[in-house]
Structure formats: structure tokens, C-alpha cells
Amino acid sequence: MFKLDTDELNKESNQNQENNQIKQIIEMSMKAFNGQPVVLLPILHELQNTMGYISETVITLLAEALNLSRADVYGVVSFYHDFRHTTPGKYIVHLCRAESCQAMGMNVLEQFTKQTLDIDYHQTTEDGMFSLEPVYCLGNCACSPSVKISNQVYSDMNPHKMKQLLDSLRVKTNRVDVL
Ligand code: FES
């Protein structure tokens, strides 16, 4: 007699759902770039935007779809620092490293943020709450230094404001988790 392992079945069904989602994104991106040379980078960006990071499954399915080897795709993914290899934190903190923000004190803010979160760029805090990424101009130069978190740009930032912002995001998340 079979004994159904529901955990195993759920795991398999989630994996199938994820694979279908990845295939759908690849298909749509390939249609969008129809007639042009294979554009691997934009498809990878689209996949990362939706899936959060570039997993082994993404690499395999994308290589199959574009008729490339896994090594070809992996080579591109590892060349660009923009691509994440692990699940990102709940909030991705983007610090602007372009000229105007640097001139207005981003160096100090950068150091403070790294120390406070205890991570460097391209890393995620142990509790999975924050990832830290550099960005090169957020189009908000008049209000430097600028920071972006979850599609929201914050102006005239300094260590004090950053501390308040990170604390409020932690409180907000913990409150939602308890409910
Ligand atoms: S230089 Fe930072 S927003 Fe433009």
C-alpha cells in the first residue's frame, strides 16, 4: 500500500509551480525581444525581478530555452554583481554611490548602514530582513544623499534618519508577523 507523503507532494507541487512561472517569464521575455539577437541580460534581470534571485533552476531552464549551455548562462550571472545567487532580504536597501550623493555624505551613511546591519554589499542580514546593494544614481540628485528601499526613494538621508527607517521597517514587519 502507498502511504502518501504530503510534505513531499507539496514540495513537488511548489517546485512545479515555480518552474512554470520561470518558463512563463522566459517565454514572455523571448517574445518581447523577438527578431533581435538573443538578449540574455534583460531576461535574467526580468527573472531576478520576479523570482528574487537567480537560482540553479533558473539557470537550467533559461539555458534550455535559449539553447545555451548552463556554463554560458552561469558565466554571465557570475560576471555581473547585480545578480543575486540567494534569496534576498525582505527589504533591499539601495545606497546611491554616484557623484552627487558621494559629495553629500554618502560615504558616512554607507559606513553607518554596513555597521548597523553588519553586512557588506551583496549580502543579507542573518534574520533575512535586509539586503544591501549599491546603485548608481536614483534620479534624485537634488536631494542627495538618496536611498531606495522597496521602490521608495528617501531623500537627504543621514545616519540618524537611516536608523529610524530601518527600525521602523523592523517594527512594521514584526507586527505583521505576529498578526
Ligand atoms: S547621484 Fe545619487 S541620486 Fe543621483
Per-domain residue ranges of the chain: 6-79, 91-178
Mean pLDDT of all residues belonging to the chain: 89
Query: CB-based contacts of 1: which residues, under 8 Å, 6+ apart?
Result: none
Is the CATH number of domain 91-178 3.20.20.100?
Answer: no
Identify which of 75-89, 102-116, 162-176 has the greatest average pLDDT: 102-116
Q: Is 96 in the pocket of ligand 1 (CB under 6 A)?
A: yes
Q: Looking at residues 148-160, what average pLDDT do you find?
A: 95
Q: Are strands 123-124 and 130-135 parallel, antiparallel or unpaired?
A: antiparallel
123-141 pLDDT per residue, tens: 999 999 999 999 999 999 9
**Dihedrals φ, ψ of 95, to 5°?**
-105, 130
Instruction: Indicate the SS3 state at residue 115.
Output: helix
Determine contact, residues 69/80, Cβ cutoff 8 Å: no
79 exposure class (CB count in 10 Å sphere: 0-12, 13-18, 19+): exposed
Q: Is 29 in the pocket of ligand 1 (CB under 6 A)?
A: no
Q: Looking at residues 38-67, what average pLDDT do you find?
A: 90
User: CA gyration radius for the chain?
Assistant: 20
Q: How far is the CA of 48 from the centre of ligand 1 (A)?
A: 24
Q: Looking at residues 5-30, what average pLDDT do you find?
A: 85
How confident is the model at residue 66, as a pLDDT?
87
Q: Measured on CA atoms in the order 127, 101, 110, 83, is the torsion positive or negative? A: positive
Query: CB-based contacts of 125: which residues, under 8 Å, 6+ apart?
Result: 89, 117, 118, 119, 131
Ligand 1 nearest atom to the CA of residue 106, by list position: 2
Ligand 1 nearest atom to the CA of residue 97, by list position: 2
Query: Mutation test of ligand 1: which of 94, 95, 101, 133 has the most ligand atoms closer than 8 Å to its C-beta?
Result: 101
Query: Mutation test of ligand 1: which of 94, 110, 144 has the most ligand atoms closer than 8 Å to its C-beta?
Result: 144
Report the first-to-last Cα separation within the chain, whole angstroms.
41
Q: How far is the CA of 118 from the centre of ligand 1 (A)?
A: 24
Confidence check: pLDDT of 174 > 90: no
Q: Is 138 in the pocket of ligand 1 (CB under 6 A)?
A: yes
81-101 pLDDT per residue, tens: 889 988 999 999 999 999 999
